[in-house]
Chain A
Amino acid sequence: DAGITQSPRHKVTETGTPVTLRCHQTENHRYMYWYRQDPGHGLRLIHYSYGVKDTDKGEVSDGYSVSRSKTEDFLLTLESATSSQTSVYFCASTSGSAYNEQFFGPGTRLTVL
């Protein structure tokens, strides 16, 4: 594994509460990504970053925000969690070109009650 970790690994929260997931990589990768994985949908891109303070939306960005203040950290925030955001969240990173292979973290299982 390319030294990419996620925290927490599991979280249960209630509807309406804010939640922040953290992704940390030690590879000095420029590009970082947040995906969610749901049965029957594969991986869907939420947000991505192409440098410190440079972020953009993916295909399912509603209800999510991100921040990247350091190369190694990429935070995903659910401002007010909803049950539809119950999912497994994966962070990934890649170096050099965005066309290169991506290295994935172990995932965070989030349950919103």
Chain B
Amino acid sequence: SQQGEEDPQALSIQEGENATMNCSYKTSINNLQWYRQNSGRGLVHLILIRSNEREKHSGRLRVTLDTSKKSSSLLITASRAADTASYFCATAGDSSYKLIFGSGTRLLVRP
């Protein structure tokens, strides 16, 4: 079963706009990670936020984590056509060797 569920499933925006994706999960976590996947390629790690953190930034990316609501959001500011990809959240549980991935959000940034 999926631990992380992304919302929306698909998002289409104009270049320069901000894109926000949300992730909800079900059980307690050690950390939550976001990955990007370009079409036909492997996943690339974007950012990791630990359970005791509430917000983290990396370049144009901003991630928030609300453990009370078991949810996270990924904000991409000033989007570019090159940001077109699928974005996945993944959770690392407290006692597990593994990440559990959500089904992803497909982002299309129109030039």
Contacts and interface: CB of A to CB of B under 8 A. Distances in A.
- Pair from one complex: yes
Interface of A: 1, 31, 33, 35, 40-45, 48, 50, 56, 58-59, 90, 92, 98-107
B contact face: mostly helix, strand, loop, or mixed: strand
How many B residues touch the partner, as a band?
Answer: 20 to 34
Contacts, number: 54
Interface string B25-49: 0000011010000001111110010
B109 interface: no
Nearest to B104: A42
A104 B97 contact: no
Nearest to A106: B42
A87 B103 CA distance: 15
Contacts of B30: 99
